[in-house]
Amino acid sequence: MEPVELTTGELRLRPWREDDADEVLVVQQDPEIRLWAGGVTSREEAVALLRRLMGQEGRVSWAVTDVIGGELLGSVSVHSIRPAQGDAQIGYWTVPAARGRAVAARAVDAACRWVFATVPLERVELCHAVENVASGRVAEKAGFTLEGRLRRSYRYGDGVRHDELLWSRLADDPAPDLGSRC
């Protein structure tokens, strides 16, 4: 499935390109991104990551950029897309300068709206480590409902299996009111 370019307010979600590798390498050095989303340590790893994001079956991934200057603000991916089951999962990260500005919530909302309109899905799931409180705020702002706790569910960048919180957004849930704030 090929991602299309989406614009929402001051954000542009565009398909990743291999020439994003240098910028991805820089932002992946951020401790928060390395802990919660993994990280790359070389340009070659950044290129390999981008190729996976661009070419993996059952996944649609976007670079989240500023609509005016094109500055990279983050990433959002809808993955594990299973049309037969009617569900998918979503993940994201933001650069430090974009945090606290509703960038992740608006990007997640835009990706959900697109995937619900494009693929016959009923549900998108979002999981994050319990300790990642900021991701809980993103989920809530993006219209997800907290469903429960998954014990020792996922091994994050620190090598430890963390409990995760499971959230979902259904195709017929009310859209969140995120305004035009970036």
User: What is the domain-level CATH number for residue 97?
Assistant: 3.40.630.30
Q: In this structure, is residue 66 part of a structural domain? A: yes
Structure tokens at 149: 């706790």
CA–CA–CA angle 112, 145, 90 (5° rounding): 35
pLDDT of the chain along its 182 residues, tens only? 777 899 999 999 999 998 989 888 888 888 888 788 777 888 888 888 888 888 778 899 999 999 999 999 999 999 999 999 999 999 999 999 999 999 999 999 999 999 999 999 999 999 999 999 999 999 999 999 999 999 999 998 889 999 999 999 999 999 898 865 43
Q: Which domain holds residue 114?
A: 6-124
Q: How many domains does the chain have?
A: 1
| 106 DSSP assignment | H
Q: Answer yes or no: is 14 within a domain.
A: yes
Residue 79 within a domain: yes
pTM here is 0.91
* Residue 75 placed within a domain: yes
User: Do 177 and 9 meet the contact criterion of CB atoms below 8 Å apart?
Assistant: no
Hey, is 137 helix, strand or coil? helix
Inside any domain, residue 84:
yes
